[in-house]
Structure 1
Amino acid sequence: MEQNSSLVEATRHFKSIPWCAALLERPSVITFTPTSRLPEDPTGHSPSQDQLFRKTLNNADTVPHCIGFYESPASSNLDIEASPSTPLGPPSQLGLQLLINSSSLIFDLRPGVNGYNGTAHGGFVSSLIDEAMGSLIFINHQVQIREEAQGRRLPRGVLDLNNVRFFTASMTVRFLKPLPTPQTVVVTASLNRIEGRKMSLDVTVKDEHQVEFARCDGLWMSLPKEKM
């Protein structure tokens, strides 16, 4: 993906941390800038209207660095012409999937995000989870746009994101341990299932030692693009 200045800076920071570098330097990993951290263009236009992560939390006291990454989808997932003999069955039989069924965000957390007990505020942890879920949908749409621009089409059984928009419907968050800061955490969102307009996601918040601080069952709902 295009190396904007935000991605270059974030990559430099996280690759200076050995365990983060080990995650990001795997041959199959692709990094990206979360939509809320994409810079404005010269006209002041932003890819989203997000102010929380782009401005309020984008400073040395709160969340100075953030980067996204995912495993490159298998090339066999993207065929110029899907063969009728392809083993993928109709969505009604196999259930719809995403091109990328899991992606992660790495956050550099500072004490400015702490709550009453001196650890990361529970509401803030929930915001990290919501950000990771939205980023999974965002990067899927970005990859779809790029692949279609190269003449490839989605295989059967993969959700087409061109004509729908998703929004958070509910989050069931379980706080497992207090999250001390400063701390670097990985928040991973993974597809559970898609049923009609509903997309269910599973999310975890972990540190370098795989200590799990929170997990979430998230539900997103879709609307046709023209109704948003």
Structure 2
Amino acid sequence: MDALDHAHFASIPWCAHHLQGDRIVMRAPSCRTLKPAEEDALFADTLNSDRGIFRMLQVYEEPLSPTEKVNEIKAFLTLGSGLNGYAGVCHGGLVMTILDEVISDLVPINQRRKTIPSGTHMTAYLNTNFLKPVSTPTTILTRAWFAKIEGRKYFMQGTIEDESGAILARADALFIQLKSSL
């Protein structure tokens, strides 16, 4: 976990509430690390700035059993005004990108726990409803959870919330486990 990201969100009272508990796991999302083949360049490099996504922290509750899936994750993001589509409002395409990234992280978390098969997964669809504008600069909470799993198909949902818990955007997604690597 990045100590600066943790300290940043722990200093925001409404975020700090979610960081407490004996079974809480906090980590920097894997997308914040640039991979050798330039994987994750969008979140690790392009958007990783004071004016982009300044800070990002992933949080989930460790299941009681090592064979149990992590069914829900949360991600806190502090957004800058460099993400604006309109003045003071995050671009809708970036709202969808954030939902896509956070929702998709449920798969590798569970692959590491060996609760779902390893392999590459990709977005098949991401249906997004924009309920209220995502303002900038601000800190948001993005939640993601499994709706159901059918073989190689992972049906998931996610939301973006503001500090008062109001849902700003909601998404239904399908991720497919590929039969072979890219």
Structure 2 length-normalised TM = 0.92
Determine the structure 2 residue equivalent to 1:202. 157
CA pair 196-142 structure 1, distance change in 2 beyond 3 A: closer
Determine the structure 2 residue equivalent to 1:92. none
- 1:39 Cα offset (Å): 5.8
Counterpart check, 1:222 vs 2:171: no
After superposition, give the CA deviation of every residue in 1:92-150 in whole Å (9 maximum; x if it has no partner).
xxxxxx71111111100111111035301100000010111121112222233xxxxxx
Counterpart check, 1:26 vs 2:16: no
Determine the structure 2 residue equivalent to 1:105. 75
- 1:34 Cα offset (Å): 0.8
Determine the structure 1 residue equivalent to 2:121. 166
* Gap regions ≥5 residues in structure 1: 79-97, 145-157
Question: Once the two structures are aligned, what percentage of the paired residues are identical?
Answer: 33
Kindly indicate whether the alpha-carbon contact (under 8 Å) linking 1:103 and 1:190 is maintained by their aligned counterparts in 2. Answer: yes
| Structure-2 separation of matches of 1:53 and 1:129 | 13
C-alpha RMSD of the superposition: 1.8
Tell me the number of residue pairs that the alignment of Structure 1 and Structure 2 aligns.
Answer: 182
SS in 2 for 1:200: strand
For the pair shown, the structure with the greater C-alpha radius of gyration is: 1
Larger fraction in strand:
2
- 1:32 Cα offset (Å): 1.3
Equivalent AA in structure 1 for residue 139 of structure 2? T
Determine the structure 1 residue equivalent to 2:167. 212
Kindly indicate whether the alpha-carbon contact (under 8 Å) linking 1:35 and 1:138 is maintained by their aligned counterparts in 2. Answer: no
* Gap regions ≥5 residues in structure 2: none
Runs of 4+ in 1 over 6 A off after TM superposition: none
Structure 1 length-normalised TM = 0.74
* Alignment map for 1:41-80 (pairs within 5 Å): 45=36, 49-75=39-65, 77-78=66-67
